[in-house]
Structure 1
Amino acid sequence: MQPARWLAVGSAHGLDTRAGARAADDALEHGDAKLLIVFCSQSHDLPALLAELRQQAPGVPLIGCTTAGEIATAGPSEASVVVTALGGEGFAVETAAATEASQDLRLAGARVARCLPVREDLPHKVLILLSDGLAGDQQEIVRGAYSVLGATVPLVGGCAGDDLRMIRTHQLYDDDVLTDAVVAAGIASDAPFGIGVRHGWRRVGEPMLVTASAANRVYTLDDRPALDVYLKQLRVDEPADRDQEWLARLALTHPLGLARPNGEDQVRFISGGDFVERSLSCIAEIPQGALVWIMEGDALSVLEATDAACADSLAALDGNAPLGVLAFDCIARRGVLGDEGIRREIDRLAAVTSGAPVAGFYTYGEIARTRGLRGFHNQTLVVLSVG
């Protein structure tokens, strides 16, 4: 007998196209799948991979993206494919995609938010968003989705990666490999969803005033070139062969913290900079006049945040055991934890979920809006528990 609701995860290592088929075989435990969610390495032949997946599950809606590393129940990996399938009459799913998103990110968020199913018998809802984190101010996507759905529907998801090259990411939608896009799945369920959001970073050094910025680019801090101030605070000498990858790797473990009125810093991932005009580029907006700090963390603080995010997520399930967990974990946290630490982190996730499957990826930014308008995060772990 088919269960009323089910969720399963499959994963496969290797860059051959059959990796997708192997992962899908494990995820498709039942014959009434409503959705496939795919996370994979940028190194795959993406059109061929999608063709394999579609052959395994013809007609099943599919969303996904490339990553900066994949997460499955067995642990973190690279150059792999992770497939999550969910189905059963207790779920209803609709999907959508918005291309050329960078031309109007707010409009892209609004367009895909309209895919949420309307079913009175399935009162619990969530919108999963996967976006191109290199397309501009990601908070605009959240604002656009919020303008359609309001405060009653939580938003959750992450920004696609390209193994830290910071050049181009890809989003997957049914048969298509996209870039500069937002893809979404609106899910309605007869059981609750739970979301947990924690980062584990703390302020270091002196505060800096953003004296010139526009959207997600910071030009000056304390009236001096932003890149110069940032490197001076870190006491780092700029190498002769400087490039975007060098700066991105440095910024992985030294994000900016943006002071908020509620006293909780919002973390901003520095994705690159302009070595001529000496500016910094972030994944989301840093408003002029804001007070910012350089942030740091260690393995202990990051793992404590993991535990707290899981606990918050599970507490929202009203006592139900989770069917599965999706984790959207910033690549920067991976940089702090190291190879051994990320294995411990995923082990903790799996242990807390009492055997429920885990899937996810290392992101360039995280989405979690459960209250208020703001819902874009950096250097943060977002956990979605499916009840």
Structure 2
Amino acid sequence: MEETALNLVSEGAGVAVATAWSLGAHAAAAELARQLAPHDLAGLVVFVSPDYDAATFAAEMARRFGATPVVGCTTAGEITPDGWSDGAVVAIGFLRQHFAFIARPILDLANFHVEAGRELTKQLRAELSAARPGFAGRGLFGLLLVDGLCRREEAVVTAVQMALDEIPLVGGSAGDGLRFERTFVIHGGRAYTDAAVLALAATDLPFKTFRADNFEPTGVKMVVTEADVEKRIVKELNAEPAAKEYARVCGILDDTLDAFAFASHPVVVTIGGQHFVRSIQRVNPDGSLSFFCAIDEGLVFTAARRRDPFEGLATLFGGIEEELGEVDLYLGFDCVLRRLAAEREQIAQPMSKLYRAKRVVGFNTYGEQYTSMHVNQTFTGVAIGRKRTAAP
């Protein structure tokens, strides 16, 4: 596919986007550097297909962009200026004129402690203030990218949001296509597993973080009666083998329990009067179910039904644009199961066209971060507007 660049640096804009479809990590990094060379960047976020060697790509990006912070992760699909894609690399550059940007990795998540995460976040906030003294940007938001197979997202996002106070946080869990073998986050020229990357951005541009899904709860309940909490595996629902009971409740044939079925028949939990999807990753040989999100014995799942995804997105985009005015970019973290559901229902092409029309750029995730929550089958992100000019 032909390389493209989305030039968003007309007056008042603060981001530049580049994409590449190349034969290898070296070529992809070179192409991104060529497209972004004219711009003075405060920071760069990259989403890279698992078809590329993540370590080589990370090293090449650091070599080509020097002191500019480069963070990112591998994907389960990319959202480019041309819509949904596979096999691409997409880069979002934050222009120094409108942004201050700082990032740090959070390593060894297997031994992560909430207090350490809070302290790291507080230090990063202080470093951001010191990095650009006199920068006029007052609005702050955080981006959190996490190894999508670490099973530690809930602890990390909770710790980070506690230290951020009222600063909004969004992000996504790194993907590996549909292989579920190994995912990477990128920082400082290296690709890490069992890690996360936290970036903080200050800006003088209007922005808004968001969360949307297209499900509504039914009256059908399932209770987790046996689980391996650490591994996010549900062994029994309603005191029956989990996969068999889930299929019965949702009206699915046992032999069709695959990613497409899970995408079309999610379960939700209710927290604080709001519903949040708890997506199933796979059915295991013993009939248990592995989940993308934390689970616990006694947790009550509610079967959910899909709503028209276009209606929900129209409401989301309309509300944001009414508040911000013209939106230059929606940096989006879109669950891979949303994309699979769209493919199964044969609406992937119009969904991709809608993302293209609305200037959505990002990646398909193994889970999404929103404030203090790790969620599934959701579209989260941050909309970035243009510099507002005073009325004459």
TM-score clears 0.5: yes
In the TM superposition, 1:114-193 aligns within 5 A as 114=122, 115-116=124-125, 117-118=128-129, 121-150=136-165, 152-193=166-207
| Structure 1 residue aligned with 2:342 | 337
| Structure 2 residue aligned with 1:310 | 317
In the TM superposition, 1:159-308 aligns within 5 A as 159-203=173-217, 206-213=220-227, 214=229, 216-236=232-252, 238=254, 247-262=258-273, 264-276=274-286, 278-297=287-306, 301-308=308-315
1:39/1:360 contact within 8 Å kept: yes
Letter in 2 for 1:78: D
Structure 2 stretches lacking a partner, 5+ long: 1-8, 386-392
Paired with 2:205 and 2:378, the residues of 1 have a C-alpha distance of 26
Paired with 1:167 and 1:199, the residues of 2 have a C-alpha distance of 26
In the TM superposition, 1:8-27 aligns within 5 A as 8-17=16-25, 18-27=27-36
Letter in 1 for 2:365: T
How many residue pairs align between the two structures?
366
Q: Can you list the C-alpha shifts for 1:230-288, whole angstroms capped at 9, x where unaligned?
A: 1333454555xx9xxx74454233222113341x3210111235433x43222222343
Paired with 1:113 and 1:309, the residues of 2 have a C-alpha distance of 30
After superposition, the Cα gap between the structure-2 partners of 1:335 and 1:108, relative to the gap in structure 1 and judged at 3 Å, is farther
Q: Residue 303 of structure 1: CA displacement?
A: 2.2
Q: Secondary structure at the match of 2:271?
A: coil
| Structure 1 residue aligned with 2:355 | 349
Q: Residue 58 of structure 1: CA displacement?
A: 1.7
Letter in 2 for 1:272: R
Q: Secondary structure at the match of 2:327?
A: coil
Letter in 2 for 1:172: I
Paired with 2:261 and 2:10, the residues of 1 have a C-alpha distance of 49
CA RMSD after TM alignment:
2.7
| Structure 2 residue aligned with 1:86 | 94
1:218/1:279 contact within 8 Å kept: yes
After superposition, the Cα gap between the structure-2 partners of 1:25 and 1:181, relative to the gap in structure 1 and judged at 3 Å, is same
1:105/1:137 contact within 8 Å kept: no
Q: Please point out which of 46, 56, 61 is paired with 1:53.
A: 61
Letter in 2 for 1:45: D
Q: Secondary structure at the match of 1:24?
A: helix
2:172/2:333 contact within 8 Å kept: yes
Structure 1 stretches lacking a partner, 5+ long: none
2:244/2:254 contact within 8 Å kept: no
Letter in 2 for 1:231: A
Paired with 2:114 and 2:365, the residues of 1 have a C-alpha distance of 20
Q: Residue 145 of structure 1: CA displacement?
A: 0.6
Q: Secondary structure at the match of 2:339?
A: helix
1:95/1:186 contact within 8 Å kept: yes
Q: Secondary structure at the match of 1:332?
A: helix
Q: Can you list the C-alpha shifts for 1:110-139, whole angstroms capped at 9, x where unaligned?
A: 365332323684220001000012111422
Q: Can you list the C-alpha shifts for 1:300-324, whole angstroms capped at 9, x where unaligned?
A: x12222223323444453x4x3332
2:107/2:195 contact within 8 Å kept: yes
After superposition, the Cα gap between the structure-2 partners of 1:305 and 1:280, relative to the gap in structure 1 and judged at 3 Å, is same
Q: Residue 204 of structure 1: CA displacement?
A: 5.1
Q: Can you list the C-alpha shifts for 1:182-231, whole angstroms capped at 9, x where unaligned?
A: 01210011223212211102345721122344353333221223223113
TM-score, with length taken from structure 1? 0.85
Q: Residue 147 of structure 1: CA displacement?
A: 2.2
| Structure 1 residue aligned with 2:365 | 363
1:129/1:158 contact within 8 Å kept: yes
1:15/1:79 contact within 8 Å kept: no
1:73/1:346 contact within 8 Å kept: no
Letter in 1 for 2:331: L
TM-score, with length taken from structure 2? 0.84
Paired with 2:153 and 2:234, the residues of 1 have a C-alpha distance of 15
Paired with 2:356 and 2:116, the residues of 1 have a C-alpha distance of 34
Q: Can you list the C-alpha shifts for 1:41-91, whole angstroms capped at 9, x where unaligned?
A: 111022332233234322210110000100111121111110111122331
Which stretch of structure 1 is more off in the superposition, 110-119 or 36-45? 110-119
